[in-house]
Amino acid sequence: MTPFPSEAPHRRFNPLKGEWVLVSPHRNLRPWQGKQESAAITQHPAHDPGCYLCAGNRRNSGAVNPDYRGPYVFENDFPALLSDNPSGGTQGDPLFRAANVRGTARVICFSERHDLTLAELGTPGIRKVVDCWADQIEDLGAAYDWVAIFENKGAIMGCSQPHPHGQIWASDFLPNEVAREDECQRRHLSETGTVLLVDYAAAESAQAERVVIENDDWIAVVPWWAVWPFETLVLPRRHVLRLPDLTGTERDGLADLLGRLCSRYDNLFETEFPYTMGWHGAPTAAGRWDHWQLHAHFYPPLLRSATVRKFMVGYELLSEAQRDLTPEQAAERLRSLPDQHFKSTSRAGAAR
């Protein structure tokens, strides 16, 4: 690859979405007098009698959770998609198009523990979550074209429920982001004969500049085209279409990598690091999807500290995405952090 002055303003291309991002590393020198988020860490109990998601508790819909252990999935009490929605859509003026859609939504509690996020759940606990994700894709994918698995972590990401959990939405259509990735991956296979993200994972591993964590089966990188300050992309090394296709060994490796990655996020600013994360795999609709590669996106908003976030406003909304530190700088900061969670270190010190 031809070198360029990475400290100078430049644009980088995202082949997965066919978009550019503006990189302006010199802006990190500017003073910040804008909004700062609270950095307080709330100490949660292992079980909260007032939590709608804890085992044995009553939800605000009136339903009572079972005394579950490990991951627990239930139908969302307030779903964004409905399975019995009538078919149909608008006719006539193409400027005012609409179409009815069908789908369903579920909630997945990662475990019965109210106080353990993925960063602290441990590899065996995360492995159970991985298996649950895969089972849900198989179940819902039999009836729907697309199954979205995601987590919003932290109040600044819109999460109003502190019990560690994620969501699963299934739909009879491909959402915009998925359709865009589908088109770009399909084009790459047609033009090169190879799978875009398989090529990309191998290239990132060889260069090592943006690698945060890797093991025998997985790699986590700050992608070349990252938009969010500490954004990461999680990729399997071999060609895999969907989570259910993973072997037992690959699921163990994924659980290991996710725990280490989430711990490093928390360790960066010694806070419960907020993010939106989600899995993208081949659609479950009928068709050929060999151009797809399974991957997970982590989109965290924090920029300079636990109290300063990146805002997507102004130029980002009206022109194109822009970031202030290079992906290489972000990867180096995450890579240099320990795997052990900072709370574990603090507890060990207090015990002494």
Q: Which residues fall in the annotated binding site for Fe cation? A: 181, 280, 295, 297
Whether the CB-CB separation of 37 and 97 falls below 8 Å is answered with no
| C-alpha dihedral sign at 150, 151, 156, 158 | positive
Active site residue 165: yes
H-run or E-run covering 251 = helix 248-269
- Write out the binding residues for Zn(2+): 51, 54, 114, 163
The strand pair at 321-323 and 19-23 is best described as: parallel
- Tokens for 232, please give them: 């990461």
Question: Would you mind telling me the total number of residues written for the chain in this entry?
Answer: 352
Q: Which among 165, 188, 291, 341 is annotated as catalytic? A: 165
Q: What are phi and psi of 202, to 5 degrees?
A: -65, -40
What is the tally of helices (H) and strands (E) in the chain?
Answer: 7, 14
- Known binding-site positions: 51, 54, 114, 163, 181, 280, 295, 297
Alpha carbon separation from 302 to 45, 224, 265, 333 (Å, rounded):
26, 19, 10, 13
> How is residue 118 annotated by DSSP?
T
| DSSP annotation string for 171-232 | ESS--HHHHHHHHHHHHHHHHHSS-HHHHHHHHHHHH-TTEEEE-SSEEEE--TT--STT-E
Contact 147, 168 (CB under 8 A): yes
d(CA 279, CA 264): 20
Q: Which residues contact 120 (CB under 8 A, 6 or more apart)?
A: 263, 341, 343, 344
Those residues with Cβ within 8 angstroms of residue 239's Cβ, 6 or more apart along the chain or in another chain = 195, 198, 293
Please report, for residues 8, 139, 260, 310, 329, the alpha-carbon distance to residue 332 in angstroms, rounded to integers and kept in the order given.
18, 39, 15, 19, 5
Residue positions annotated with a catalytic role: 165
